[in-house]
Copies of this chain bind each other. A is one copy, B any other.
Amino acid sequence: MSEFKILEIKQAVFEKNDRQADQLRIDLKNEGIFLLNLMSSPGSGKTTTLTRTINLLKNELKIGVMEADIDSDVDAITIAKTGAKVIQLHTGGMCHLDAGMTKQGLAGLGVNELDLVILENVGNLVCPAEFDTGSSKNAMILSVPEGDDKPLKYPLMFQICDVLLINKIDVLSVFDFDIELCKARVLKLNPNIKIIPISARTGEGIPEFCDWVKEEVKNWKGVSHE
């Protein structure tokens, strides 16, 4: 039913990654394509958040999605139902994507005429933070059940992201999660990060995230292209 490719990608040479990432960013900028790298722990709600986001944005932006997973294609099947262009990337056991793998993914997806490509990275709070994918901006999700202490334990991820979505706020009442304490811990690591509480299940907060995405895409493409 759903139409998407599955691509087996290989790890790029590690030491070249930063250079490749910078070059990829330049290329994407020249093509007017905004690449958002979305990261989180397993099960934080990346795919549900993306589904909501795409449904709100798809009339305004041409969107492609790269679903990275070690195995399976369950997320690509879900995203394909939104009508967005989607490709499943299999990382062959790798715990993250680097710039070379991202470039292979973009080539496999086909980005002509897309405004926005979202990379759903491998579910992992550690390794994806260490590898620049060449993305225009980095986004992350922390979900309420994971706990408000995660900024203390995985600081790099919070430091390298431009926006943090605190997801599953619809279940705040059944978990010991102090959202103000969590925000304070995050802002201490990264004073410039934008924090948006959301519920991917109910849709709360998704419009605010979509506004952020639209503004970033507009800035990336530049006023002269509008």
Q: A41-B41, A150-B42 are in contact. Are A95 and B124 (CB under 8 A)?
A: yes
Residue A146, interface by CB 8 Å: yes
Cβ-closest chain B residue relative to A73 = B152
Residues of chain A from 59 to 94 with CB closer than 8 A to chain B in the complex? 69-72, 74-75, 93
From A10-18, A20-28, A99-107, A125-133, the one touching the partner chain is A125-133
Copies in the complex: 2
Contact A93 B156 (CB under 8 A): yes
Residues of chain A from 125 to 180 with CB closer than 8 A to chain B in the complex? 125-127, 130, 143, 145-147, 149-150, 152-156, 168, 171, 174-175
Q: A43-B41, A147-B43 are in contact. Are A74 and B153 (CB under 8 A)?
A: yes
Name the distance in Å between A39's Cβ and chain B's nearest Cβ: 12
Q: Which residues of A contact B (CB under 8 A)?
A: 41-43, 69-72, 74-75, 93, 95, 122-127, 130, 143, 145-147, 149-150, 152-156, 168, 171, 174-175
Name 10 A/B residue pairs within 8 A (Cβ), A-sorted: A42-B125, A42-B153, A43-B143, A71-B152, A71-B155, A93-B156, A123-B153, A143-B145, A145-B145, A171-B171
